[in-house]
Structure 1
């Protein structure tokens, strides 16, 4: 199956039969997709610690503890020691040292200055922090689509930032009008 358009700014929904423990039952936001491969962040799998704990490990004093109680996410199996902040792009914030605009509304930042701002309560209003990322080499994601391992749909800001993580996968499936638990592992052939 050839993807006629890139998957940047799309959600990837794992199919129920995807057994890879890194990706089973995941919703991934695709940050970049080109002939060179794809990169995304899993946005519904907690790493088991709140952001406040991560900031503490980085010796950052948290001035607004209530804003730092959301979970850190396991963004994927690649470079799990690196942090990524997916956030809304707001004119009042920004200017981060290592920031990449994905859309006019969503950016990805990898520099420590955004975490320092979050600790001070001055970061973006909508954000999630992930350790690691999901990466695919050239043609790999396309091959996985042909194996019926993924569905894709347009991303949704509210699902990504304002919905409980455990509800995000089915909410994205609902955008497509489907219930993932009713899907089968086999594609039909006429």
Structure 2
């Protein structure tokens, strides 16, 4: 199995995937796949990619927010991005739409935007070619994510747009493990007590 190392220049995991191991010990993150949007010495922030909110679709949310044309937005799930700031929305999207300083570049051709401008773009003909909407985020304080990784709570893998943006939420955890050459059955069996 190959493991992904932090960026050699920065030592951080921005732009990578975190894959919850059976050792995670926190039901909020059981079998989750998280895209790491930001990671530095003080903090880390990511969005859970495989927890769609029941009964909430993007056009419905945009309509509820009174975004003009929201009902005509490209259909897709709204995700539970994490347990922090659950009433705040984040859009992870390709950079064919850029909202200037409001768009934080977070990986290879990806931006993270949390403004009304990106919501209006999602409801328009000028929507990003690929985007996902998440409510809330996963966050860690200084050294917390590194500690969790050292305790084997998370596996780290390279991110790709197909895994990030497809709607197959129930398959993302196994597919992300597959990027490391691991099957869920092997990982579950390997994590038992001796």
Q: d(CA) in 2 for partners of 1:86 and 1:74?
A: 13
State the distance in 2 between where 1:187 and 1:133 align. 32
Please, which runs of 5 or more residues in structure 1 have no aligned partner?
none
Matched, 1:50 2:57: yes
Q: Which moved more, 1:71-80 or 1:177-186?
A: 177-186
Residue 147 of structure 1 is matched in structure 2 by 151
Question: Which residue of the partner structure matches residue 46 of structure 2?
Answer: 40
Matches within 5 A, 1:69-88: 69-88=75-94
Tell me: CA distance 1:150–1:104, structure 2 relative to 1, closer, same or farther (3 Å). Answer: closer
Cα deviation digits, residues 17-47 of structure 1 (max 9, x gap): 4231211110000011111021000011011
Gaps of 5+ in 2: none
Determine the structure 1 residue equivalent to 2:142: 138
Contact 2:63 2:71 in 1 (8 A): no
Give the ranges of 4+ consecutive aligned residues of structure 1 lying more than 6 Å apart after TM superposition.
Answer: none
Pair 1:7 & 2:18 matched: no
Please report how far the alpha carbon of residue 185 of structure 1 lies from its aligned counterpart in structure 2 after TM superposition.
2.6
TM-score (norm: length of structure 1): 0.88
Q: After superposition, what is the alpha-carbon deviation per residue over 1:95-135, rounded to whole angstroms, capped at 9, x for unaligned?
A: 35611011340110011111111112321010000000000
Q: TM-score, normalised by structure 2?
A: 0.86
State the distance in 2 between where 1:73 and 1:63 align. 17
Match of 1:65 in 2: 72
Worse overlay, 146-155 or 3-12:
3-12
* Matched length: 184
1:27 to 18, 27, 33: 33
